[in-house]
A = this chain, B = another copy of it.
Amino acid sequence: MTETSPAAEAGTGAAADHAYRLVREQILSGQRVGGEWLREGDLADHLGVSRTPVREALRRLTAEGLVRYERNRGVQVQAWNASDLDEIFSLRSVLEPWGCRLAATSGLADLTTLDALAHEMDACVAGRSPDLDRLTELNNRFHRLVLEGSGNSRLPGLIASVVQVPLVWRTFSRYPPEALARSLAHHHELVAALTAGDADWAESVMCSHVRAAWSSIREGVQATS
């Protein structure tokens, strides 16, 4: 993210951007429960801006599927369930391995940064208090970077549009330790496969990676529901 480096000029503009980021963060952090109504007036007051930029933010969130919009009634936070998770991981298990395959032979993958990210993620869980938020952030960057190496400029955004599900954000907290270790190992193996330019290997590792995550999360959801 951090597209249009935001806080550059705090003085003007970016009211809509500000509103967008705040509401998005509230939804992804679970602060806003699924089904909750988001009133334009309340958000505007709380942000100290008018309804106009708030409406813009809500429309953007609607397009991204984080909220549900009903004409003349407003927007409410999208509610997710286990079948949504299945749909998403089902899609990922097709698209990500495919993108990874392309990245293996395109020569576009930023292997240096990928390797660095893999090591940073190791460090995140090395200490006694693992920084899971940072791990999530790094993991997202890792996956996006792989997909950007596919040479298909639409692929990263396409996957990002379905991965933005609240549960996924808190994903690593549900991982059992051995699953976490396996996931981190996958990242390193992925870098190795990409470095070797072995498309089959790369595709295979990513497929394992996604399906392992799917399994871990499914169990985590079942356990808490």
Contacts and interface: CB of A to CB of B under 8 A. Distances in A.
List the number of copies, as a whole number.
2
A9 B69 CA distance: 7
A90 interface: yes
Nearest to A157: B65
B12 A154 contact: no
Interface stretch (A54-62, A112-120, A194-202): A54-62
B71 A152 contact: no
Interface stretch (A91-99, A131-139, A184-192, A207-215): A91-99
Contact of A8 (B55, B71, B91, B154): B71
Interface in A29-66: 52, 55-56, 59-60, 62-64
Contacts of A60: 59, 63
A188 to B, nearest CB: 26
A70 interface: yes
Contact of A155 (B56, B63, B69, B91): B91
Interface string A80-100: 000000011011001100100
Nearest to A152: B87
Contacts of A94: 94-95, 98
Interface of A: 4, 8-13, 52, 55-56, 59-60, 62-64, 69-72, 87-88, 90-91, 94-95, 98, 152-155, 158, 161-162
